[in-house]
Structure 1
Amino acid sequence: MPRVSTINGLPAHILVVHAVVVLIPLSALLVVLVAVWPAARARLVWPTAVLAVLALVAVPLTSEAGEWLEQRVARTPLVRAHTELGDYMLPWATGLALVALGLLARQVLEDRGARAVRGATGGLGRSRGDAAVTVVVALIAVIVAAGSVLTVYRIGDSGAQAAWTGQFSEQAQLPPGGGPPPDGE
């Protein structure tokens, strides 16, 4: 499979990274909601699992594009720090996807059990589930979600530091051809 190195003349990494920056926190939020709120689980478990898997797929694509870019920029300590932190995202994204898929499997099994009870009794039997399992799953979901979001933040901050440190002026710059600075300073 060919590597995507650039998109419209820009390094692919600086564009595809936005998928990770959006999908990981969104997936993390949904995983926690689905884990702790039964009404959300009934409605959102499928979209949550799909988003978490998409986020997981986006991570190695972003990392691969980042490795391509790393070979084409100055190897500064800030770039090294960013690339080293980037290695921590895949395990967190994998954990997030596994928790989402586990929640999906649990919901599917609960739905099947509830249908079986309703069919056998003719009533509105409900599967209560094990309260201890619910608490453990919710705790795992919160830990994995928090770790995923924190990791995205740390990697993103280090990437911004690597890209922008020393690359701008504190003073507004004159536009081409002179005239006052754009913000009226």
Structure 2
Amino acid sequence: MLSTVFGLPTHPLVVHFVVFFIPVTVLTALVVSLWPEARRRFALWALGAATIAVLAVPLATETGEHLEARVPHSKLVEEHAELADALLPLMAALWVGLALVVAVRWYAGRATEARWTGFAMAGAIVITVVASLATGVQVVRIGHSGSKAVWHEVGSESGAGQAP
């Protein structure tokens, strides 16, 4: 994978896909899970956004590892990398929850006797809501730690007068 694009590190460019698609996925997953009419209309769209997000996470991780090898080692960069390593399993759980919501909704619409689908949908909703909240919190933590790693000296006495 390219480590730079037009002389800029690839990681900040790729991260914007993650920063956009994960919050969109989290919000649409919560709406689709908790509002049956939205589930009927937008569940597949939410799963599509989740698919893009889950595919973007490994790209962001890989480009981040390339960038980490090129910058000075620091506790802030290490913290950012550790937090980022937890994102893919959380995003995968969110994707699975949404896939279950879509599958149970599809099956319930075609089954003649589907008493179990209410329980299955409740389970899918719980997985989706919990994974959405955990993923949303984690992406904020990762973004905050990345921002601190890049901008921690700006505005401080030791970084005064230096360009970012």
TM norm structure 1: 0.78
Q: Do 2:87 and 2:135's aligned partners in 1 also have CA atoms closer than 8 Å?
A: yes
1:137 aligns with 2:124: yes
- Equivalent residue number for residue 11 of structure 2: 13
Q: How far does residue 169 in structure 1 lie from its aligned partner after superposition?
A: 6.1
Q: Which amino acid aligns with 2:3?
A: S
In terms of fraction of residues, the more helix-rich structure is: 2
**Which whole-Å CA distance do the structure 2 matches of 1:53 and 1:145 have between them?**
14
Question: Radius of gyration: which is bigger?
Answer: 1
Instruction: Map residues 152-163 of structure 1 onto 2, 5 A cutoff.
Output: 152-163=139-150
- Equivalent residue number for residue 91 of structure 1: 89
Identity percentage of aligned residues: 37
**Which whole-Å CA distance do the structure 1 matches of 2:118 and 2:81 have between them?**
41
Q: Do 1:45 and 1:107's aligned partners in 2 also have CA atoms closer than 8 Å?
A: no
How many pairs were matched up? 159
TM norm structure 2: 0.87
Which of 51, 55, 74 pairs up with 1:53? 51
Structure 2 residues not aligned, in runs of 5+: none
Instruction: Map residues 25-104 of structure 1 onto 2, 5 A cutoff.
Output: 25-104=23-102
What CA RMSD, in Å, does the superposition of the two structures yield over aligned residues? Answer: 2.2
Q: Do 1:24 and 1:149's aligned partners in 2 also have CA atoms closer than 8 Å?
A: yes
**Which whole-Å CA distance do the structure 1 matches of 2:64 and 2:87 have between them?**
13
Q: How far does residue 108 in structure 1 lie from its aligned partner after superposition?
A: 1.7
Q: Determine helix, strand or coil for the equivalent of 1:167.
A: coil
Q: Determine helix, strand or coil for the equivalent of 1:166.
A: coil
* More displaced 10-residue stretch of structure 1: 146-155 or 35-44: 35-44
